[in-house]
Amino acid sequence: MEVNKEEFESTCRLFIESVSNYFSVMTDHDSEINVPFLKDITQLELKQYTGMIGISGNKQGYVYFSANQDLFEELINIFIGIDDPDTDDLMDMAGEISNVIAGNIRASLGTNFIISVPLVFEGRPADLEFPEDTFVYVIPLTWRNHQAYVIVGLQ
């Protein structure tokens, strides 16, 4: 696998900044970004709800934002004021946050960084396939005691 590690890490830094900005600006509560680590795709853990954005153009890959119900519930309460969101609401929230994070990255990287619309799923679907030759970076974060992962995979 030929990977320009320096370039990969700089791209990951952009994702970390995008996620940090999202929480600090949108919710007024900072997130704590924990130490990112490289992960074997086959052992990748996903939380309850995951939003996935495909990346194409100059860079090929994907980014996942994965978190449990409690994080999405609190975001919905802050943004919409609904106390009792249902599963559909939680999934829409996962799609929304994935879209904003990836959109911010596109604003930084320009028009050759093309992102897909979010694809949201619950759990880990049996037919979830990861492309081969992908360098996977997991960025754990904590926001108001809720844990989440941003997973960046770039070829």
Partner 1 sequence: MINQADINSIKTYGADVIQTKISRIEDGTRKNYFSLLPSPERIRESIPNSFVIINPMNTVGGDGYWFAENDKAILIAVFDCMGHGHFASMMARTYIKLLRQIIDEQGIFFPNQVLLEIHTAVQKKFSNSTAKKSLIGTGADFGIVRINKAIREMEFSGAKMNLYQVSDGKLNVIKADRIQVGEYFDHDHEYVTHIIDLKKQQDSKFYLFSDGVTDLMGGPENKKFGSARLKQLLESIYPRTMEDQKKEMVSTLGKWQGSNMALDDVLLMGFSY
Query: Which residues make up the interface to partner 1 (CB under 8 A)?
Result: 26-28, 52, 54-57, 60-62, 76-83, 88-89, 91-96, 99, 114-122, 125, 127-131, 155
Taking alpha carbons only, the member of 107, 23, 124, 133 closest to residue 64 is 124
Q: How far is the CB of 54 from partner 1 (least distance, A)?
A: 4
- Least distance to partner 1, CB of residue 116, Å: 3
Q: Which is nearer to partner 1, 35 or 86 (CB)?
A: 86
User: Minimum Å distance from CB 50 to partner 1?
Assistant: 9
For residue 35, the minimal CB distance to partner 1 (Å) is 26
Listing DSSP states for 31-89 in one string gives: -EE---EE--GGG----SEEEEEEEEETS-EEEEEEE-HHHHHHHHHHHT--SS--HHH
- With respect to partner 1, which residue has the nearer C-beta, 27 or 142? 27
Is the Cβ of residue 25 or residue 35 nearer to partner 1 in the bound state?
A: 25
The burial class, CB within 10 Å (0-12 / 13-18 / 19+), for 132 is: exposed
